[in-house]
Amino acid sequence: MTSDLTRLLAREMAALVRAGETSSRALTEAHLAVAERQNLALNAWLMIDREGALSQADAADAILGEARRAGGAALEALHPLLGIPVGLKDLISVEGGQCTAGSRILAGYRAPYDAHIVERLRRVGAVLLGKTNMDEFAMGSSNEYSAYGPVSNPWDLDTVPGGSSGGSAAAVAAHHVPLALGTDTGGSIRQPAALCGIVGMKPTYGRVSRYGIVAFASSLDQIGPFARDARAAAALLHAIAGRDARDSTSAPVPVPDELLHLPESDDEAVAWLRGRRFGLPREYFVAGMDPDVERRIHESVAFLVDAGAHVEDVSLPHTDYGLAAYYIVAPAEASANLARYDGVRYGHSRRLEGGDFIADYLATRGEGFGAEVKRRIMLGTYALSAGYYDAFYLKAQKVRTLIKRDFDEIFASGIDALVAPTSPSVAFRFGEKTADPVAMYLADACTLPVNMAGLPGVSIPCGLSEGLPVGLQLIGSAWSELLLFRAARAFEGLTAGAAWRGLEPAALTKADHASGLTPAERAAALAAAR
Amino acid sequence: MTNPPATADALDRYEAVIGIEVHCQLRTASKMFCGCSTAYDGAAPNTHACPVCLGLPGALPVINRRAVELVLATGAAIGARTPDATRWDRKNYFYPDLPKGYQISQYDLPLAAGGSLTIDTSDGPFSIRITRAHLEEDTAKLVHAPGTGGERLSLVDFNRSGVPLMEIVTEPDVRTAEQARRYAEELQLLLRTIGVSDADMERGQLRVEANVSLRPRGTEAFGTRVEVKNMNSFRSVERAITFEIERQAGILEAGGELVQETRGWSDDRGETYRMRVKETSDDYRYFPEPDLPPLRVDPAWLDGIRAALPELPAARRARYREQLGLTPYDAGVLVADADATRLFEATLAAGADGGLDPKTVANWVTGEYLRIRNAAPSSTAPGADPIELAALIRLVVDGAISRANGKEVFEAHLATGERVEAIVGARGLRQISDADALAGIVDAVILANPAAAADVRAGKTQAIGFLVGAVMKQTRGQANAAVVQVALRARLGPGPTAPRAGEDG
């Protein structure tokens, strides 16, 4: 056993606190120390709640102590997340706490209520360590659109962690927390998970209540887990999933308890693959894709085949229209969802001398929103305007139906899951894509069709390309999260002995030095050098 | 700004085309999309608000099923079509009283479409087509007040934010201000009857807006439309539209052109005034509300709502006329007033075994009850016991007390709640209808008034009234005047008239 508690997997931590070999307080202290030490270099956290986290840890320790005294059954009944630190993307409402959504317009806002998933985490006794950085209103694929500065990728501090949940992904990869939550509207969990070399899942639309989550695009947003292994991610999903009457789009579909009992042994996990059918959608190997990333995906497929799975080429013919349709539907919904930020009730507010309320709105929103958010509000407003609605929004929704049908047909044909790249490239450098919005949008080409279809998808690490992580995406039919996690767990088993498995993010030592540069300074230096 | 008054000639040449939009707050315990109570009347500002109706980040709407039922009930009551499935749409616009920056409303799939409402007017019945009724949420309320330094301040009270609102829109079928008023009155009655809304105009629970345009009689094309708002009573609906028709006719007659605009009604000045000119049509960028799944209207659900509807005002009026023989006027007055309807029905039921004549009961309710109630301050509005009213009417009909004394008894009952029998007894009002009992007094009166008696004998029948009055005086009003009259005629004669038991003159 390593002496550094932060290097353990979530279930190892849970086992230690149950056994009384360590405490939730010690675990929390250890994580707080790393997070606080490295936040200058990584900027993964917008807020670290030392006091709150420690008090929750103490409460968990009290429960643990009581259960240990009561013995066997009481210990067994404890949730595996009890006393385990979790990071929350800063668009998740926590009562009394900040919730900036990475935007200046929500500076100073304090949420007066807990999101549904926060209630659930409190119920199982998780420790809420703090709020993680993100692209403003979850719009972005690099975390460079945060009003509070970019985040560095723990594998290379000059590169982005992906986005929009970049802070959560970086924090988990850097061992600041074993677990974190993010949201995924077009790839915002899976893509940063891929770029940071961890596991990240976007569940089926309706699996997790959105109540208390700052909305980007209501029909696409889902909350999901980040972890360093499949079992921890599955346990976190288990804790937050399920019907909530306050979100009318959350589905009354049972959450399988097997999510807590994925196979322990690699052999058992791998054996599950025998006879499984996987589809390899040819449209996901997009033009301009990094050839080395493509190689890693094909190597992964070969592993699956070696383990007895069938992998066949399949086609999702409407994939190519996904990006265009997504960039109508998501901005359209966002243009309405973000209309509430008007400075009247909360957040940034500008009152002009003698101006009418429209002038105040323009000033408030003009100052409060960043360029990318404004771009999407304008796109969405335009797409919904009289005379354009049919040609844009309605057409995009029809395309969405076709995309969904593509998936339905594949899964109806007996395919268990699709195997695809998560991102066409590994982590890119700061500033590489900010000048060209479309280049940035293409970072999500392989993930956003899954949101358009409302399906679950998970990204798991499958190797490195020039020292940076590559993500393998598994896509399933609706409500097939358990199957995806079984497949992910099997892939972990298959690659348990791979050299890259044992590697820590390369830049962590550098991130430890308080004298280093902030991500914003690195980004500026790179821009200057260009 | 004044316009040339329209001449009667101009008003003859033009026909008004009027469409009416009514917003009514639905009678639900909680708001449209959250659990906040709708009982905010008199509450301190912003005490009935939560993350949902404040539009806080992350808040999501949940449909109030009761509100949907109330709109479905309205649709059933106006004979509208109900879609198999409906959905909600976002209506996007910026205003400080709209916390989300959009209103959740219904755009192309309203819960009710294509109904109608028939009203009675001075020109007879008139049917108005109703285009649609849909469900939406109310806005917050803006309060404009000077700040401590005298600066202009706008304050927002979110108590009203998210209250369920039904919008009912008519086709441009209305032609006169009277029809418009009658439509609003009839709609209020309907909504109250089916329990959909308290529909109090003064409390903003029923808001009426009218789109008014004029066109030369005999032409089809619509003229320039003006939207009239801020009409806070039925009377102001009629006055505002009358004013607007005359204003527009005056401008057209003078060769002027109308401007498409929104005008407010000032009750004090008795005129409409410009609120804003519509240069472009509003673009609300409607799109389906992604936070709410489409709602399927289960046929069994709809059938249940339909079956639970009470008798509607029009049907009730028809029944009163056709089955109970009431005049259209009495039927209208009774049905228009919920208290009167209840008292009428209950009194009729209470007197059912004695076979009370509905017309008589109607007269007591519309004449006596409504007169007394309307004169009373609203805080002390009296309640009549239908069993007592039935007993009272029975006493009068049977001639046990006079009609005049009956009114006195009813007033006393309404004031004190005492039983009719007790009041009659205590005041000694029981009528003397026994001719034998009266004979002595009649004879004495004839003897004491020889001149009048002679006049009657001579055929001056008017003089008999004087003698009746004298008998009434002697009996302190207890004598049955009809019986007295018969007795007098028998004595002073030409020929006897059959005594009639019944109400006196």
Contact A344 B96 (CB under 8 A): yes
Range of the domain at B123: 8-39+59-88+106-137+164-281
Average pLDDT, stretch A338-342?
A: 98
The tokens describing A91, both together, are 């668009």
Is residue B114 domain-resident? yes
pLDDT band at A3; cut points 50, 70, 90: low
The tokens describing A439, both together, are 């280049």
pLDDT in tens, A452-467: 999 999 999 999 999 9
> CA-CA distance, A451 to A449, in Å (whole number)?
5
Specify the pairing of strand A127-132 against strand A85-89. Answer: parallel
Q: In which residue are the tokens 């970086």 written?
A: A170
The residues spanned by each domain of chain A are: 7-263+273-320+401-529, 321-397
Residues of A with Cβ-Cβ distance to B101 under 8 angstroms:
336, 338-340, 342
- Phi (first) and psi of residue A396, to 5 degrees: -60, -40
| Cβ-count burial A84-95 (b if 16+ within 10 Å, e if not) | bbbbbbbbbbbe
For residues B130 and B20, membership in a common domain is answered with: yes
Residues of A with Cβ-Cβ distance to B100 under 8 angstroms:
336, 339-340
For residues B315 and B403, membership in a common domain is answered with: yes
- Nearest-5° Cα angle at A516, A511 to A518: 85
Contact B54 A345 (CB under 8 A): yes
Is residue B424 domain-resident? no
pLDDT in tens, A92-130: 999 999 999 999 999 999 999 999 999 999 999 999 999
Contact B61 A249 (CB under 8 A): no
Contact B290 A218 (CB under 8 A): yes
Asked if B153 and B146 count as a contact pair (C-beta separation under 8 A), the reply is yes
> CA-CA distance, A376 to B173, in Å (whole number)?
44
Q: In which residue are the tokens 């995906």 written?
A: A297
Whichever domain contains B453, its CATH number is 1.10.10.410
Residue B381: what pLDDT?
Answer: 57
> CA-CA distance, B175 to B83, in Å (whole number)?
30
Is residue B498 domain-resident? no
Question: Is B95 in CB contact (< 8 Å) with chain A?
Answer: yes
Question: Is B90 in CB contact (< 8 Å) with chain A?
Answer: yes
Q: Classify burial at A286, counting beta carbons within 10 Å of its beta carbon; exposed 0-12, middle 13-18, buried 19 or more.
A: middle
Is residue B51 domain-resident? no
Q: Classify burial at A524, counting beta carbons within 10 Å of its beta carbon; exposed 0-12, middle 13-18, buried 19 or more.
A: middle
Q: How close B277 gets to chain A, by Cα (Å)?
A: 17
For residues B460 and B487, membership in a common domain is answered with: yes
Q: How close A214 gets to chain B, by Cα (Å)?
A: 4
pLDDT of A134 over the 60 cut: yes
**Last residue of some domain: B393, B419, B445?**
B419
What ipTM describes this predicted complex? Answer: 0.95
Residue A405: what pLDDT?
Answer: 98
Any bridge partners for residue B209, and if so which?
A: B21
Segments of chain B scoring below 70 in pLDDT = 1-5, 279, 377-382, 494-505
Q: How close B257 gets to chain A, by Cα (Å)?
A: 28
> CA-CA distance, B55 to B45, in Å (whole number)?
16
A385, closest residue in chain B (CA to CA): B285
Is residue B414 domain-resident? yes
> CA-CA distance, B489 to A410, in Å (whole number)?
107
Instruction: Give the residue from B485, B347, B505 showing the smallest Cα distance to B497.
Output: B485
B281, closest residue in chain A (CA to CA): A386
Q: In which residue are the tokens 């209506």 written?
A: B91
- Nearest-5° Cα angle at B446, B443 to B451: 170
Residues of A with Cβ-Cβ distance to B156 under 8 angstroms:
344-345
Residue A524: what pLDDT?
Answer: 96
Supply the Cα-derived Rg of chain B in whole angstroms: 30
For residues B340 and B370, membership in a common domain is answered with: yes
**Type and span of the H or E element at A452:** helix A448-453
Active-site residues of A: which are they? 89, 164, 188
Specify the pairing of strand A85-89 against strand A277-281. Answer: unpaired
> CA-CA distance, A50 to A28, in Å (whole number)?
9
Q: Tell me if residue B147 falls in helix, strand or coil.
A: coil
Asked if A471 and A426 count as a contact pair (C-beta separation under 8 A), the reply is no
pLDDT band at A1; cut points 50, 70, 90: very low
Residue A437: what pLDDT?
Answer: 84
Question: Is B101 in CB contact (< 8 Å) with chain A?
Answer: yes
For residues B192 and B129, membership in a common domain is answered with: yes
Counting one residue from chain A and one from chain B, the pairs whose CB atoms sit within 8 A come to 105
Asked if A422 and A196 count as a contact pair (C-beta separation under 8 A), the reply is no
DSSP annotation of A316 reads: -
Asked if A281 and A418 count as a contact pair (C-beta separation under 8 A), the reply is yes
* Mean residue pLDDT across chain A: 96
Helix orientation angle between A10-19 and A24-42, rounded to the nearest 10 degrees: 150
> CA-CA distance, A142 to A153, in Å (whole number)?
10
Residue B403: what pLDDT?
Answer: 86
Which of A345, A388, A394, A452 best probes binding to B when mutated, by most B CB atoms within 10 angstroms? A345
pLDDT band at A16; cut points 50, 70, 90: very high
| Complete DSSP assignment for A464-520 | EETTEEEEEEEE-STT-HHHHHHHHHHHHHHTTT-GGGGPPPTTHHHHT-TTS--HH
**Count of beta carbons in the 10 Å neighbourhood of residue A426:** 25
Is residue B413 domain-resident? yes
Average pLDDT, stretch A510-519?
A: 86
Which of A116, A361, A384 best probes binding to B when mutated, by most B CB atoms within 10 angstroms? A384
Q: How close A103 gets to chain B, by Cα (Å)?
A: 12
> CA-CA distance, B16 to B374, in Å (whole number)?
35
Residues of A with Cβ-Cβ distance to B61 under 8 angstroms:
248
> What is the number of domains present in chain B?
3
Asked if A481 and A488 count as a contact pair (C-beta separation under 8 A), the reply is no
Pick from A214, A389, A393: CB nearest B57:
A214
For residues B276 and B183, membership in a common domain is answered with: yes
**Last residue of some domain: B227, B261, B281?**
B281
B142, closest residue in chain A (CA to CA): A344
DSSP annotation of B367 reads: I
Cα–Cα distance list, A483 to A239, A302, A309, B320 (Å): 17, 20, 14, 69
DSSP annotation of A394 reads: I
Q: How close A434 gets to chain B, by Cα (Å)?
A: 27
CATH code of the domain occupying A7-263+273-320+401-529: 3.90.1300.10
| Complete DSSP assignment for B279-345 | SS------EE-TTS--EE--HHHHHHHHHT----HHHHHHHHHHTT---HHHHHHHHH-HHHHHHHH
Residues contacting A515, CB < 8 A, separation 6+: none
For residues B362 and B487, membership in a common domain is answered with: no
| Complete DSSP assignment for B408-463 | HHHHHHHHH---HHHHHHHHT---B--HHHHHHHHHHHHHH-HHHHHHHHTT-TTH
Question: Is A244 in CB contact (< 8 Å) with chain B?
Answer: no
Residue A184: what pLDDT?
Answer: 98
For residues B200 and B255, membership in a common domain is answered with: yes
A384, closest residue in chain B (CA to CA): B285
Pick from A214, A339, A361: CB nearest B102:
A339
Asked if B130 and B115 count as a contact pair (C-beta separation under 8 A), the reply is yes
